[in-house]
Amino acid sequence: MMQYSRFDFGFFGVEKSVSSLADFLQFVDTEFEFSSVANLLPVCVKDILAGLDYLHNHNIAHRDLKPGNILVCNQHLDDVAGDDKAMAKAYEECPIVCQLTDFGLSRSVDIQTKSVVMSKTTSVSCGTPAYMAPEMQLNQLVFASHEDLKRADMWSLGLVMHTMINPDLGSPYRAELEQSSAPDIHMALKDLLTKHRLPQHGAKYEQLRITSW
């Protein structure tokens, strides 16, 4: 039976629950005090890294890592509901659990050769553009080895982390894309990557970045 994963803000006295990291970040940025849950971000990163490590050790590349494909959950706290002391202890030990999901684009060496040999557009360059590695976005790899795909996952992880500390931006390169005069967002993004530009930070959480983080 499939279990529904959710993060319930009832622990903070707020009637709201979300299921993905994307929804979590949007809510804490727009309707909650982000600084009060900023300490959860390192836990999220640790869980995401553990998930990627598991996949990569089993020769699987995710290929579409982004906040929308990361589940968030704190349902384990339900086990100690009503016991404030036990609840506080459980929250301190494990305030949030993150799990990777949506493996529709994943590739494993068990079901393919060591190189992806189809066309650039249908095999190598797939994923969500804002989180794709430059070599994938720019179609620089005609034949991508499984190690190439794993490295692309790590680039995506870096951009997920960027989004986590800039939840107001929604996605990497958003500020730059809004300032771009290019007629097409994809063209603008490719131009930024061609120039080896890294995504800018937003100003909203600068104080957190230079102090707590």
How large is the average pLDDT for residues 89-95? 94
Write down the catalytic residue from 23, 64, 83, 84: 64
CA angle, residues 37, 48, 191, in degrees to nearest 5: 95
Q: In the predicted model, is pLDDT for residue 104 greater than 70? A: no
CATH number of 7-199: 1.10.510.10
Burial of 132 (0-12, 13-18, 19+ CB in 10 A): buried
Question: Residues 186, 190, 196, CA angle at the centre, nearest 5°?
Answer: 150
* Catalytic status, residue 110: no
Of 83-92, 136-145, 151-160, the poorest mean pLDDT is in 136-145
Cβ neighbours around 60 below 10 Å, total: 21
Domains in the chain: boundaries: 7-199
Between residues 209 and 58, which one has the greater pLDDT? 58
Bridge partner list, 141: none
For the chain, percent of residues with pLDDT exceeding 70: 87
**For the chain, what is the mean pLDDT?**
86
pLDDT confidence tier of residue 14, bands split at 50, 70 and 90: very high
* CB 139 within 8 Å of CB 125: yes
114-135 residue pLDDT tens: 444 333 333 444 568 899 999 9
Q: For residue 211, with 0-12 CB atoms within 10 Å meaning exposed, 13-18 middle and 19 or more buried, which class applies? A: exposed
- Rounded average pLDDT over 87-116: 74
According to the model, what pLDDT value does residue 3 have? 61
What's the pTM?
A: 0.86
